[in-house]
Chains A and B, each alone.
Chain A
Amino acid sequence: MATQHSRAAARFMMAPAVFVLLVWMLVPLSLTLIFAFKRFMPLRGDRIESGWDFVTFFPSLDWVGFDNFTRFVSSSAFWPSVVTTLVIVGGVLAISIVFGVLLAMLLDQPMWAQGFVRILVIAPFFVMPTVSALVWKNMFMDPTNGLFAHLWRAFGADPVVWLSDVPTFSIVLIVSWQWLPFATLILLTAIQSLDSEQLEAAEMDGAGPVSRFAFITLPHLSRAITIVILIQTIFLLGVFAEIFVTTGGAFGTRTLTYLIYQRVLESQNVGLGSAGGVYAIILANIVAIFLMRIVGKNLDK
């Protein structure tokens, strides 16, 4: 059992991490909150004058009450962007988990040069999002010179215009390609820890491959799946480069993050964008609580 002494030591050791994160969270969060109640349009000459403004709540910027909040939600772009965000996050999660499980099970089978296959599968995770979006957009999805277009024509079909015919799917595909390796690796480690005798016993008892998967493998993986969902959701809610490079938010691919980007940098309305930032935090927390409720139990096992 932990002693008083070790408890104090533990707190002491946690302090630096908690402190820096607290600062890192509080500073941007409070700035976002303050700006959300301000008129702040840099190109209209709204300016932060000096470092002192940070402690005096930016007197050079006018308070505007809840204007920014109401304007942000009443915009016709708001709800579609929330839906798009959930579709993209959900789509990527579904693909990376379903294919991740299948791939992990395949890689768990005896084979030659397993290490080499693992190298191939893990590689997309190392690629910068910008690079991967550029490569997919130009070299694969380009309707004239892209590889897919060549392939489609070779079979006598009309090339698909990926980024406008199936824009959301295209982005889900690009993002999934980057995150599938991550899911596969975690799931593979989990599968490898599965007791093979348990599976054999079930096989002896006459359980078919489907029920073996459903009653033994899948429950064993539930914890790993939870973790994949949790970690990937954190990263996927902030997906940006893939949209910026490919569609620029057009054709219904504007996520909440992207909408905020448009408000802050394209429209140069920091106040409005900050109000959007507050909504994004709320959405992220709703998603997080939802995740905890549904799958969080697995973490406590």
Chain B
Amino acid sequence: MARAVTTRRKALNTAIAWTIGLLIFFPILWTILTSFKTEAVAIANPPVFLNFDWTLENYRVVMERSDYMRFLWNSVIIAGGSTVLGVIIAVPAAWSMAFVPSRRTKDILLWMLSTKMLPAVGVLYPIYLLCIQLGLLDSRIALVVILMLINLPIIVWMLYTYFREIPGEILEAARMDGASLKDEILYVLTPMAVPGIASTLLLNFILAWNEAFWTLNLTSVDAAPLTAFIASYSSPEGLFFAKLSAASTMAIAPILILGWFSQKQLVRGLTFGAVK
């Protein structure tokens, strides 16, 4: 830092930032805390914050009712599969858009984004029918493909903006040295692109993980992911805050943990060309 910052100023910044950060995080924290309460404590007035008898009862009930591991596993496969497939298809496209731009590049990009604006519910019946015809109802493959297509525009765009920040001179230099197209991609571009690709993978994994229309409507048993899991807890009879919290915590915990561990990578590439 060029300027000397007083400790007091730093302390003040820290205090404000922590307060706001905790405020934003609070709903999640409260959900996690509530998941360890009994139903009666969960609605107590005044609310109980930490000094209650912690119980795992809600988790026991949820685990007994649903095969959590199966839902989790499906979520991992569907989100992971669609993201990886998407990136495989998008990398070459984004590469060529970034390094061999034409007049239409921008139009193609915007067109790709506009495909995301079609309301999904209007085509539920035909897509459902197509899945029946192809025998793909309740299969992970169908969801992998559909979620890939839904997120592909974002993937292409993210990679394109990232690739564009890679200075062209380096490529020129490599070409001068006689590098082939393959070498160029493999040894020059790829290492530089890894952070952007990692970030793209993460963002789209999150988006796919949280997609709740197709994952709910095209599955029943074998391919049902966590979005279907949570759909069975949303309005049971009687008091349910604690059980809902437990189910919610279980549904978001994996992605939350992944997100936290990888947030550096996520943030690094998450610019969409905002920084120039």
Contact = CB atoms under 8 A, between A and B. Distances in A.
The finding on whether chains A and B are genuine partners in a shared complex, rather than unrelated, reads yes
A17 to B, nearest CB: 4
Contact of A109 (B13, B22, B31, B115): B13
Contacts of B110: 288, 292
Interface string B60-100: 00000000000000000000000000000110110111011
Contact of A2 (B10, B100, B231): B100
Nearest to A189: B271
Interface string B20-48: 11101101101100100000000101110
Interface string B106-135: 101010111111111111111101100100
Contacts of A230: 113
B230 interface: yes
Contacts of B54: none
Contact of A131 (B5, B118, B251): B251
Given A126-B206, A238-B120, A121 B255 contact: no
A270 B124 CA distance: 9
Interface string A1-43: 0100011011101101110110011011101100100001010
Contacts of B176: none
Contacts of A2: 99-100
Q: Which of B3, B27, B259 has the most CB of A within 10 A?
A: B27
Contacts of A128: 209-210, 212, 226-227, 230, 251-252
A24 B43 contact: no
B221 interface: no
A110 B156 CA distance: 35
Nearest to A147: B47
B266 to A, nearest CB: 8
A299 B110 CA distance: 11
A178 to B, nearest CB: 9
A132 interface: yes
A31 B10 contact: no
A17 B118 contact: no
Interface stretch (A161-169, A205-213, A277-285): A277-285
Interface residues of A, number: 110
Contacts of A188: 267
B175 to A, nearest CB: 9
Given A123-B28, A181-B24, A224-B274, A277 B92 contact: no
B34 A139 contact: yes
Contact of B244 (A48, A121, A134): A134
> In which size bucket is the chain B interface?
35 or more
Given A20-B149, A135-B27, A147-B47, A223 B270 contact: no
Contacts of B90: 17
B59 interface: no
A118 B263 CA distance: 9
A28 to B, nearest CB: 4
A110 B154 CA distance: 33
A103 to B, nearest CB: 7
A301 interface: yes
Contacts of A288: 110, 113-114, 117
B10 A131 contact: no
Nearest to A131: B248
B210 A124 contact: no
B245 interface: yes
Contacts of A27: 126
Contact of A106 (B20, B181, B230): B20
Interface of A: 2, 6-7, 9-11, 13-14, 16-18, 20-21, 24-25, 27-29, 31-32, 35, 40, 42, 48, 50-51, 54, 103, 106-107, 109-114, 116-132, 134-136, 138-140, 145, 147, 150, 153-154, 177, 180-181, 185-190, 193, 196-197, 200, 223-224, 227-228, 230-231, 234-235, 237-238, 240-241, 245, 256-257, 260-261, 264-265, 270, 273-274, 276-277, 280-281, 284-285, 288, 292, 299-301
Given A48-B126, A122-B267, A123-B24, 6 more contacts: A17-B93, A35-B122, A110-B1, A111-B10, A124-B25, A126-B256
27 contacts: A6-B99, A10-B95, A10-B99, A13-B92, A17-B90, A21-B152, A28-B118, A125-B206, A126-B259, A128-B209, A128-B227, A129-B212, A131-B230, A132-B27, A134-B244, A145-B43, A145-B241, A153-B45, A196-B2, A240-B213, A273-B122, A276-B122, A277-B122, A280-B117, A280-B119, A280-B122, A288-B117
